[in-house]
Structure formats: C-alpha cells, structure tokens
Structure 1
Amino acid sequence: MQKAVAQRLMDYVRFDTRSDSGSTACPSTPGQLVLAKYLVEELKAIGLTDAALDENGYVTATLLSNVEQDIPVIGFLAHLDTSPEISGAGVKPRLIENYSGGDIVLNQSLDVVLSPEDFPELNNYIEQDIIVTDGTTLLGADNKAGIAEIITAIEYLVTHSEIKHGTVKVGFTPDEEIGRGADRFDTTSFGAAFAYTVDGGPLGELEYETFNAAEAKINIKGRNVHPGTAKNAMIHSLHIAMELNAMLPAAEVPGHTEGYEGFYHLNSLRGSVEETAMTYIVRDHDKAKFAARKERLEKITVYLNDKYGEGTVAISLRDQYYNMREKIEPVYHIVELAKTAIEAIGITANIKPVRGGTDGAKLSYMGLPCPNLFSGGHNFHGKYEYISVQSMEKAVEMIVRIIALHTKAGR
C-alpha cells in the first residue's frame, strides 16, 4: 500500500540532519548519511533498484521509461540537511487535523504560540491538516517535505503503470543549507536534460530567479588594556564591529526588504575587546548591484584601517552562487511546463524570485537548468515552521503531472 506523503515527512524529520559550516567533511554531519542510507533502502523497496549513495552523501536513483519514444531525461531534487540556525534534534512533529483557526499552542510551558496574528498565512489553511513543531526545534520540512513529495510521486508512477513517462532521475543532496549542496554533484552521470528542485515555500510557488550571493568574513583586531588606564590606549574590537555595521544602510536588511530588493545580513558576531569575528551574507538579484554591495564592504574596511591602523580589519569575500535566471531563460519552456502542470491541478502558479538559496542556482551554472517548485511549507528555519498536508499532496500531484506532460510533449 502506498505510503502517505505526510507520514513520510513525519518519519524523516526525526533524523537530525543539521549541516555544519564549520566542518570540512562532505556531508558536513553524520546524521545526513543516516537519512541518506534510509532513503536508498526506501527507493529500492518501491522498485528503483539502482538507488545508491556515493562517498559524498549524494543519493541518486532512476525510474526507467515505460514508453518507446526517446524523451529527454527529467530530474527532481531535494536536500537532506536542515538549517543549523536552530536545533533539529529530537523533532516531535504534531498533526493538527482540520485546523479550525486561531492560535496553536506549540509549547505551553515555554509559552510558544503559532498565531495568525503573527503569521496571517495560517488563515489560508482553515479546515486543512497541518504539521507543526513542539516549539523547541524546527520542523525540517525544508527540505524533507520535498524528499517526501518526490518519493511519493515516484511510488505513485511505479504503482500506476498506465501513466506514461520517460526516464526520471531522483537526487538528494547534502549541505544545501550551508551553500555546498551542488558542489560535488555529478551532473554528467545524473544524466538529466533539466531538473527541478522541490524546495520552495507555499502552494503554487514557482521560481527561476535567485539572488547572487556572497559570504563576507570579517576579523577585527583590538587592543585590550585595563579599563582604568585605557584612555588613548584601548582599541575595542566590538566597538569597531558596531561602527562597521552602522556604516551599512539600515533598511537594507532582511527584515526590511522584499521581492527583488537585496540586503546585507549580519549572520554571526562573536568577540571581545581583543578580537571580533563577523560573518555577513550579501544578496542581490541584480549583478551590478551585487558587485556594488561587495565593493561597499571593501571600502568600509579600507576606511576603518585608515582610521585605526593597517591590519585592524581584514575581510574575506566568497561568492556562493549566482542568479540562475541567466541559465534558465534560454530553456524557458521548462518553466512553462511547470506552470502548466500547476494550473492543471487547480492551482494558480505564483512565479516569483527566490529570496534565498537553492541547489538549482549552482546546478544551472553546472549545465543542469533547475527551476524551483513549491513544497508547501512556511516559516522555515525556526520553531514556528509548519506545513499543510493538503499542500504536500498537491506537490505530489504537480510532480506526477509535470512528468506526464513532459512525456506527452516529448521534449
């Protein structure tokens, strides 16, 4: 009997798969391998006999064509890891059946409440079934919902052979949340002409534009002396860090931007009088504005070194990924294919830019054009994360419909 997509998600979220940017291993955490091995066995059990796990933690499998015509191979991808920003250990998912509206108490003792006053999108899910956290961890629907939806769709095709389809490739990647998800992915052996990541948010989302993204690591050296004799002698590295941050546009942060607006995001700050380390992520959809943002940080560094002495502030900038629009527009029919499939199952397609990262950005530049599809979740990377079961079921329908329409079109 086919396993329900919601049950798959609730099984998967119990695996602690938080990635770790401080690790140089691939995958960066052992928990990702544990889930990966579990998924390989599940894929084999539903009939994908070539399901395999490579030495870097990538899971791949193939649903073979059941038609004679030569149809370009299509792929579907999701990522194994969850965000390291909040605990993913001991996740206790809870199913709220037939949500009646109003507040959902996630954790009474900690006074954690999921409220439509704070998250008005909850009102879209009245009379639906939603999966929530216990208020102490994230849920992990990002991106275990995508995994569950892909596997459930493939299982449906296996058990409904009357649905004609070409060859379909499945891939699950590690370390997407720390920007490494596609780094060791072998697009050549994967063999798909194009693919989709099922890593988006609410029902109907379809995305083929991402930020251009960079990480800025800044180290500030101070000079500590006794505060009683510090006049004209102490250099306080934390004060310099605050000065640096104040030189960036106050409104150009995630909490004040939307749509195509870029930002600087102070992701971490650790320090003392003697030394401080800061990490920013820099984002912009426009390539020229992206370059200008990085240049601004470099100019601030020069200014502070002129003020406090050469070597006080050191910056290391690393590009992470680029806007995949450039690579997808030449094959825009794959976006139209997804839009047609979404609308065919009774949903309005919401084509919008990604305000975040996705494996598809790097993969598109590696020769595998890869738009992003909705998985149905909200409030990713936090304890208020939730997902509608009905949205997940629609995501399964969407995947099946994309495959069927692609087969019919034959291109």
Structure 2
Amino acid sequence: MDYKKSLKFCVLERFLRYVVIDTQSDPASETYPSSKKQMDLGKLLVNELLSMGVADAHLDEFGYVYATIPANTTKPNVSVICFCSHMDTSPDCSGLNVKPIVHKNYQGEDLVLPDDEAQVLKMREHPDLKNQIGNDIVTASGTTLLGADNKAGVAEIMDACYHLINHPEIKHGAIRILFTPDEEIGRGVDKVDIKKLGAYAGYTIDGESAGNMENETFSADGAKLIINGLSSHPGFAKGKMESAIKIAGQIVAKLPFELSPEGTELKQGFVHPVNIAGHVEQATVDFIIRDFEEDKLKQHADVIREITENVLKHYPNSTYELHVKPQYRNMKNKLDEHPQIVEYGMEAIRRSGMDAKLCSIRGGTDGSRLSFMGLPCPNIFAGEHAFHGKQEWVSVQDMQKAVETILHLCEIWEEKA
C-alpha cells in the first residue's frame, strides 16, 4: 500500500502538542515515576487513544501507558507485536517551557535559535542535515531541549495507531502499545508488566537517522568506588591526614584517555566517572562501564581497581571498596535467537522507500532490558538528532517515514504468519 498517497499524516501536530509538556525524569527521586509531571503526558495519550477507539488504553500507578489495537485479520496465528517509546526527557537540559519552531523548506542555511542566538544549527556540525534539503526541521527556541528524544517516537506510534484504527485495509494482528517513564535515568522498564503485554516481539521507536535500525547495544555495568581516608584537624595534619577527596581525584586523573567516552568510538568500550562526592574521611566515585563485549566489562572494572591500588600505595592508612552492579546487556544476544524480528524491521524500512541500515548503539534503550525480560526488542529510527541539548532537532518528513515503517511492520507480521 502506498501510504504516502493514501494517508494524511498528523504526526507533526501530535509532536508539537507533546513537546510542550515538561516530562523530565529525576535521577534523585526514588518514586515511580520519578517525577509526577510525566503522568501529565501519559493522561493525554490515554485520552487520545480512547478517543480513537482504543478501548483498553490506560495509565497505571507507575506511569506506564498500555493499549491494544485488536487484530483485524482472519489469520489465526499472527504474532502479537509491541511498539514502545518513552515519555520522559533527559535531566541534562531543561524541558520546561519548550517552544518548538518549524523551519519549513530547509535549504542548508544556518538555523539560529531566536531565544539564544548563540545556539546555531550548522550543517558542518550536524551532518545529517545534508539529507534534509527541502524538508521541514523542528527545533526548540534555544533555551531548552526539544524533546524529540523520545516524543518523536511517541507521536509516530500514536499517528500509526490512528491510521490502523481508521484504515481497516491495513491488515494486522494484535498490536500492543507501551509508553514508558524514566528511560533517561535507566529505570524505563523497572515496573513493566510483561505478562500484560503478552507480545512475542517489540520495537522501540527511539533511534536517530531515517532508515537506521539498531540491533546491538552496549552491555553496561555501574560501579561505585568508596575511598576510606584518614581525617585529622587541618592545623595538625602533617604526616597524618589522608584525604579521601584528594585520593579520589588522583584516581580519576589517572584513568586512561583511550578508555574514556571522549577517547573512544564505534565498538570501543569505556569507563566513565559520572559523580564524585564526599569529604576528607570518605569519598565516593560513581562510574558507568560500557562495552559491546560483555566479557570486557570485568577487564574495565579491573582498570579502576588497579589504578586505585597503585594510588593507595602512597596512603598506607586508607582503604577502598569497589562495588560493581550489572545494568543492562547487549540486546543482540537475544535478538540473534529470533532473526525474523530484525529481518521484518529491515523489510519495513525498505518498503517505506529508504535504504535500510543495521547499526549499533553506543548506549542502551528500553529494548536492551526488555530483550532480557522475554520481549526481544530492536530499535527503529525516530528521526531525533542532537538529543539532550538545546540544538536537538527532528525532520517532519523523517517522522512521517517512521509512521510508514510502523504500519509496514504491522502488515509484514500479518503477511508472514
């Protein structure tokens, strides 16, 4: 079916409606969701789904939106598939009072964001803009992030739902919808009810360039280094004090550049200190440890351990503890057990008129953990770019292509059953 000719896309209108709702997650909070304001978008989405005729749409106590589009095929054994995006935005940049701007018919010019003219989108700094000539680009106004990560995905799934409901000629099995909170702080699937979803396969719509599909993520550990120093009165500290703060600083300074985020790319892993806190007697350093090969995570943790022990040779009365905790694992390990999930995704992208490209993510998605919870879940492009910052942008035409891809995926699973 030629969706471009027969369907009227509303994805832009939906996106503009969603991004003005502040949904930043809060890493310091222990509640679910971490910020109540995420529920504001959840309630809106439920109301829109109910208005479409999606009768079971609801928001649960933890901030998850669940919904089902019933099958309209006569085939008896079509697998249930799930589409997932996250509602929260990153705590790294303000999401309050987002003012989206649509730059129509982009021709390669610099895009100056009016509320902070120091924020300028330049093609040489955003190379994917080369593929957007003639398209419509959406940015924020310069003082906030845009929220395309991942409200572009939310809008695309919602628009696909609308078309599935209103175009019964698109044959499909049962489709589950899942919108999650708190993905940006690593808790996006902590409270997901996998049994309620009851799906065979999932697709997160949370990727970057149009045509890209990601079947591989980092494997990830978190590590907490605790330094126990020796405190004394600073006026009488000579030969006595062993400052845990200074010890922690020396350890961080000795981390190798070639094992840092800023010194690595492609399939290279890293060790990254993300927080330092403490006082003279005790200090802590929190790390994230990443690699595509799970076996290398232990090697990277051993680098922290070796540096710490070498530094502490000069501080005989100080000790340390290193606690390493698994966070998520490379979803490719699970997706390789179900190759058709990725194959159908690539076919859907091609049917939407794009060159399909299989990629790896130097990060993780909700799909990373969902894959190990029994829902194999690769990641499909949403068109979001420069996320977590004031120069975040998305192309309207890329969002429309994502909607097409979702619809083709629904058809393909029905055809192949």
TM range (shorter): over 0.9
2:129 alignment partner in structure 1: 122
1:401 aligns with 2:408: yes
CA displacement at 1:272 relative to structure 2: 5.6
The offset of 1:291, in angstroms, is 1.9
- Please name the residue that 1:6 is paired with: 12
Q: 1:283 aligns with which of 276, 279, 290?
A: 290
Q: How far did residue 221 of structure 1 move?
A: 4.6
Aligned length: 410
Which residue matches 1:167?
A: 174
Displacement, 1:122? 2.1
2:120 corresponds, among 113, 116, 121, to 113
Q: 2: CA distance between counterparts of 1:120 and 1:93?
A: 21
Q: Match of 1:24?
A: 30
| 1:229–1:119 distance in 2 versus 1, CA, 3 Å | farther
Would you say the 8 A contact 2:150–2:384 is kept in 1? no
Q: Which among 218, 231, 244 is matched to residue 237 of structure 1?
A: 244
Tell me the amino acid that sits aligned with residue 42 of structure 2: A
The offset of 1:114, in angstroms, is 1.8
The worse-fitting range, judged by mean Cα deviation, of 253-262 and 218-227 is 218-227
State the Cα distance separating 1:19 from its structure 2 match.
1.3
**Does the CA-based 8 Å contact 2:150-2:206 persist in structure 1?**
yes
Give distance in 2, aligned partners of 1:344 and 1:3. Answer: 17
Is the contact made by 1:304 and 1:312 (CA closer than 8 Å) also made in structure 2?
no
* One-letter amino acid of the counterpart of residue 79, structure 2: P
Q: Letter of the aligned partner of 2:69 in structure 1?
A: L
Deviation readout 1:61-113 (Å, 9 max, x if unpaired):
00001112121111100111111111111111111111121321124656222
Cα distance between partner residues in 1 of 2:85 and 2:216? 17
Cα shift at 1:150: 0.5
The 2-side partners of 1:167 and 1:199 are apart by: 22
Pair 294,270 (structure 1): closer, same or farther in 2 beyond 3 Å: same
* Residue 151 in structure 1 maps to residue 158 in structure 2: yes
* Distance change (3 Å), C-alpha of 1:37 and 1:109: closer
Task: For 2:182 and 2:150, locate their aligned partners in 1 and report how far apart those are by CA, in whole Å.
Answer: 11
Question: Secondary structure of 1:406's match?
Answer: helix
The letter of the residue matching 1:30 is K
Distance 2:58 2:217 in 1: 30
1:324 alignment counterpart: 331
Distance 2:140 2:278 in 1: 33
Counterpart amino acid of residue 36 in structure 1 = G
Q: Provide the rounded CA distance (Å) in 1 between the counterparts of 2:375 and 2:61.
A: 21
Which whole-Å deviations, capped at 9, do the CAs of 1:192-245 have from their partners, x for residues lacking one? 111100011111111111111011223445556676765434434343223212
2:48 maps to which of 42, 65, 71: 42
Q: Deviations over 1:116-150 (max 9, x none)?
A: 23222222212211111222211111111111000
Q: Deviations over 1:328-387 (max 9, x none)?
A: 101111101011111111111111111111111111111111111000011111111111
Whether 1:54 aligns to 2:60 is yes
Of residues 353, 357, 361, the one that matches 1:350 is 357
CA contact (8 A) 1:304 1:313 kept: no
Deviates more, 1:216-225 or 1:172-181: 216-225
Contact 1:107–1:113 (CA under 8 A) maintained in structure 2: no
Matched residues in 1 for 2:289 and 2:296: separation? Answer: 11
SS in 2 for 1:101: coil
Q: How does 1:190-269 map to 2 (within 5 A)?
A: 190-222=197-229, 230-269=237-276
State which of 368, 372, 375 in structure 2 corresponds to 1:368: 375
Contact persistence 1:217–1:317 (CA under 8 A): yes
Residue 133 (1) aligns with residue 173 (2): no
Q: Within 2, Cα distance between the matches of 1:331 and 1:161?
A: 29
Give the stretch that moved more between structures: 295-304 or 313-322. 295-304
Comparing 272-281 with 202-211, greater Cα deviation is found at: 272-281
1:311 to partner: Cα distance: 5.3
Q: 1 CA distance for matches of 2:62 and 2:291? A: 30
TM-score between the two structures when normalised by the length of structure 2: 0.92
Unpaired runs of at least 5, structure 2: 1-6
Deviation at 1:304, TM superposition (A): 4.0
Percent of matched pairs sharing the same residue: 44
Aligned residue identity for 1:347: M
Which residue of the other structure, out of 74, 99, 105, is the alignment partner of 1:68? 74
Give SS of 1:384's match.
coil
| Aligned mate of 2:96, from 89, 92, 107 | 89
Task: Tell me the CA shift for residue 187 of structure 1.
Answer: 1.1
Contact between 2:115 and 2:141, CA under 8 Å: does it hold in 1?
no
Q: Is the 8 A contact 1:301 1:315 kept in 2?
A: no
Q: Distance in 2 between matches of 1:33 and 1:239?
A: 42
The amino acid across from 2:20 in the alignment is R
- Between the aligned partners of 2:300 and 2:107, the Cα distance in structure 1 is 45
SS at match of 1:336: helix
Does the Cα contact within 8 Å between 2:242 and 2:318 map onto a contact in 1? no
The aligned residue for residue 348 of structure 2 is 341
Q: Quote how far apart the aligned CAs of 1:403 are.
A: 0.6
Letter in 1 for 2:247: I
Cα–Cα, structure 1 residues 24 and 342, in superposed 2: closer, same or farther, change >3 Å?
same
2:390 and 2:325 map into 1 onto residues whose CA distance is 30
Deviation at 1:255, TM superposition (A): 2.2
